[in-house]
Amino acid sequence: MKKMIISALLIFGVIGANMAYLTYFSTPSRADEHYESMKALMKATKEGEDWKIRTKDETNATVIVAPHGGGIEPGTTEIAEDIADKSQSGFYTFEGLRRANNSELHVTSVNYDEPKAQKMVGQSQRTVTVHRTSRDEADVYIGGRDTKLKQIITEKLLDNGFKVKQGTGSIAGEGVNNITNMNQRQAGVQLEISSKTIQRFFKNGDSSRMARVQTTNWSQTMQDFTSGVADALNA
């Protein structure tokens, strides 16, 4: 009987260790991922037709990233770029250009092996990635491994009237192989903004491509959000 109990404890210990390992090194992939990696995506698609990459200040110690920009997660490119401009940070975005099916260009953050993104993030000390989520119990879910910066950003966004929750599960952003955390400190911040909140970032709730690129269509709500994150980075 004693041997059976010891064996059971050992089995549960191994299971627990494996679960901790998976939490540390990965986050669940989306079931509908069309490409297993960015390299596979780029090999099968055409730059300038399906997607494009834009960057600014590639050697900046702070980098703001929209890995699923353009039509993939609409609004994230504009949000990330405005944060970068206001905080004088580096900027990277991978933008979906298709008229339809941009969601096929979504590659989960733990498989994000696009060389320029890896280089920019890899040389940086601070990284903030901007994403869009269907969760709607908060305006933004904050994840990643940079505990100190997460706290400062949370405080600034709360001060500006936004509801902030900790990212959990697939949007926790805590894996060390998540592009968010692949900087010099292996610790970044992942912002998952609710789709409902992003709609409020654009006047009349219009986040279409034509509306997004016009800064005159950006609402005060968006300005309050991007200023909050920028203020945290400048603190």
Residue boundaries of the structural domains of the chain: 2-234
SS3 at position 51: strand
CA-nearest of 93, 77, 166, 91 to 127 is 91
DSSP secondary structure letter of residue 192: E
Contact (CB, 8 A) for 217 and 200: no
Span 2-234 CATH architecture: 3-Layer(aba) Sandwich (3.40)
Look up the pTM and report it.
0.86
Amino acid occupying residue 115: P
Amino acid occupying residue 113: D
Write the pLDDT tens digit of every residue in 215-225.
999 999 999 99
DSSP secondary structure letter of residue 104: G
Element (H, E) at 95: strand 90-96
In 96-234, which ranges are continuous DSSP H helix? Answer: 115-123, 147-159, 195-200, 209-212, 220-234
Half-sphere exposure (Cβ direction) of 50: Cα atoms closer than 13 Å: 14
Question: For the chain, which ranges sit under pLDDT 70?
Answer: 1-32
Write the pLDDT tens digit of every residue in 71-107.
999 999 999 999 999 999 999 999 999 999 999 999 9
Contact (CB, 8 A) for 61 and 125: yes
* pLDDT computed for residue 15 by the predictor: 39
CA dihedral 177, 28, 48, 66 (to 10 degrees): -70
